[in-house]
Amino acid sequence: MKKILIIIIFFHFISSPLLASKEDELYKKIDLFGEVLDKIKNEYVDEVNQAEAMDSAINGVLQSLDPYSAYMSPELFQSMQTETKGEFGGLGIEIGMESGLVKVISPISDTPAFKAGIKAGDYIIRIGDEQVQGKTLMEAVKLMRGPIGSTIELTIRRKNVKKALKFNIKRKIIEVKSVEAKIIGEKKKIGYVKLKSFNENSDQQFFGTVKKFEKNFKPIGYVIDLRNNPGGLLTQAINITDFFLDDGEIVSTKGRRLSETRKFFARKGDGISGKPIIVLINNGSASASEILAGALKDHKRAIILGENSYGKGSVQSIIPLRNGGGIRLTISKYYLPSGKSISEVGVAPDIEIKEQGDEFQIDTITDNQLNYAIKLFQSS
């Protein structure tokens, strides 16, 4: 009797008016989509490739979700997989999509794009002779790649600049050394560590540098420079954050799958025994950079100085498809120890210091943000 009752209830649920109406609405939308394609095929002024139109429709669905999800056709997916390190060169920029335009998340330090003057927040409107609007993110990436030593012209729109800017950039192999460091300060020694990215061995480079400074120079504290660091591996951000924390949550990820919902905690032991830290961030600090800065801020372990970070608080996975193509899909989001999401908000600095002057350049005498950090240490 109980089994019969359960079956009746289940049948009632799947055949409920609410579920049926949702399915009816979905089928109506599918029919409408087919009708639109048919109208395009028969009445559009030019002949349209139906397969390409479908690819664009699939990509439109993905890009409506967020700026980082995208579709790759079999040809594009294959070219992304088979390009070898020694054959193709790049420009050195991390990009995303916003309102159908390609937006620079961050130029990577010491790469062709960085040296040419590309800035975080720039919009790329043309790549060579190709109009970018209407292209997918992956198509834009492919256009920017090419033979080493070849030159490509990027046309840029920049906030508060009326005219479009043009940059001729020579492609090269992008090999990013994760860590650069030195001792700075006149009266008191300060350890300056610049993290350019979070690659597979960034943590070991970072730990080795700091331990060397501790042994040979015994600095009073550290400036960790995350400006224009587009992020990278989550594990690296966790390991480096853990180095400075004695306990507590570092970051959590939340997704629809149980495997994507996790919390990461610091192990006992502060690698610099509580010495003060100033972390420099700007609009080009994204993803893993924001995890490091945000966790140290939430635990009051560091002073965050500079400008608001980018706000990329999500994890993407490359998923192959049966047709030989693939999709880049957001599968989870990051949350700081405070429970706040980084997505579209970023990390706000404790002390806001904006770049000053047209001659501003990171880690030079014109770097007013670093100069301010040094003054804080010297006056303490």
Q: Which residues are catalytic?
A: 287, 298, 312
Say if CB 337 and CB 299 are below 8 A apart: yes
Which residues 6+ apart lie within 8 Å of 9 measured at CB? none
Say if CB 237 and CB 198 are below 8 A apart: yes
Relative to beta strand 314-320, strand 326-335 is antiparallel
**Closest to 214 measured CA to CA, from 183, 186, 235:** 183
DSSP for residue 302: S
Measured between alpha carbons, how far is residue 118 from residues 75, 103, 166, 225, 353 in Å? 29, 11, 10, 19, 20
Token couple for 332: 């989870």
The values of phi and psi at residue 38, to 5°, are -65, -40
CA angle in degrees (0–180, nearest 5) for 243-248-254: 100
Rounded Cα–Cα distance for residues 80 and 73 (Å): 10
Rounded Cα–Cα distance for residues 233 and 240 (Å): 11
Within a 10 A sphere around the Cβ of 374, how many other Cβ atoms?
19
Rounded Cα–Cα distance for residues 262 and 273 (Å): 28
**Closest to 333 measured CA to CA, from 150, 155, 121, 68:** 68
The whole-angstrom distance between residue 85's C-alpha and the CA centroid of its chain comes to 22
